[in-house]
Structure 1
């Protein structure tokens, strides 16, 4: 009986030792693999740690502090054409219509737009002249939208657009929603960090 007990104890001890050796070897192997794995490449120009907030996360209810004024996002449009997506955020302003477009193509591009209901100009040509500036057609297309918050549009629908740019970087854009009339806007590109985002509730 004692011999059997000693034999069983010896087998258990050997099993534990073998288990410890296997676990130790695996840990060393994993350490070697981690040591040999090169660090993941990073974009040196990425806005990581930017204290102003990420414009790609904007939504209705967020406040934007421009330094000299504060505005709120009343509503947002999530636009798509094929697999490409971008957003437009309508800002609370006294009179007129203003919005911020956010897209990655491939870099982050922000444009502050001002509605121009004072013109009947339409995107009928590859070159347009407006207020003494010549604009050339950059792109046009048809896509769909999804509406959030207050936009004056249905919950979802279709849009047509045409974007123009001058040699000096001035922007002219046309949009029409659900086969309605064309709406013109002039825009200027702005840099990320031009405003601080305070998320809404």
Structure 2
């Protein structure tokens, strides 16, 4: 009888240990965090540029600008956004806009339009104000317009992008319509370093 009780005690002890180990493994599996990118934009206290939309406000290097409208662009399976900005104070600079794309990392560039009517993307290199830029991309894309952009709800555009030294960029765009191709618009861009842009969502957020 004592032997039987001893065997039962061992069996019960084994069952209890097995149940406890199983619960421990389950608890560990459910509480362990999934691997995450430590530099993910959505985790930034300054906001995620990928969520920008008309009505939002951005602050960069002490200047605040309103997002008046946005273009959502698509070329093949690739998408990016352009946001047209209106400063709170008149600066005398040309029209400005912010481009946001992932290629594959997030890249945000602040652009200022230039009035150089004689500048076109007809050459592989273009020099502006003593800086030489090299063409990296040229293509056409479809766009969908949101807010105030001065364009129709949908359409197509042609672009040519140039890269320069120290994060500088040069971009050409023209919009395509029933009357043919529009004139080239030229803008100079500067890379916005991570963490220097603060986003204030609009009232509709």
TM-score of the superposed pair, with normalisation by structure 2: 0.77
Q: Is structure 2 residue 172 aligned with structure 1 residue 170?
A: no
Q: Judge which range, 164-173 or 43-52, deviates more.
A: 43-52
Q: Is structure 2 residue 119 aligned with structure 1 residue 121?
A: yes
Give the corresponding residue for 2:69. Answer: 75
Matches within 5 A, 1:177-196: 177-178=175-176, 179-196=181-198
Count of residues in Structure 1 that have an aligned counterpart in Structure 2:
178
Give the corresponding residue for 1:4. Answer: none
Shift of 1:35: 4.3
Q: Is the 8 A contact 2:41 2:47 kept in 1?
A: no
The Cα offsets for residues 107-151 of structure 1, whole Å up to 9 and x where unpaired, read as: 110000000123421110111122211111111111111100111
Q: Which runs of 5+ in 2 are unaligned?
A: 1-18
Give the corresponding residue for 2:108. Answer: 110
Matches within 5 A, 1:34-113: 35=28, 40-66=34-60, 68-93=62-87, 94=90, 95=92, 96-113=94-111
Give the corresponding residue for 2:11. Answer: none
Give the corresponding residue for 1:149. Answer: 147
Which structure has greater strand proportion? 2
Q: Which runs of 5+ in 1 are unaligned?
A: 1-24
Q: Is structure 2 residue 200 aligned with structure 1 residue 198?
A: yes
* SS across alignment from 2:50: helix
Residue 59 and residue 36 in structure 1: after superposition, are their counterparts in 2 closer, same or farther (change >3 A)?
closer
Which structure has the greater CA radius of gyration?
1
Q: Is the 8 A contact 2:95 2:113 kept in 1?
A: yes
* SS across alignment from 1:158: strand
* SS across alignment from 2:44: coil
Give the corresponding residue for 1:139. Answer: 137
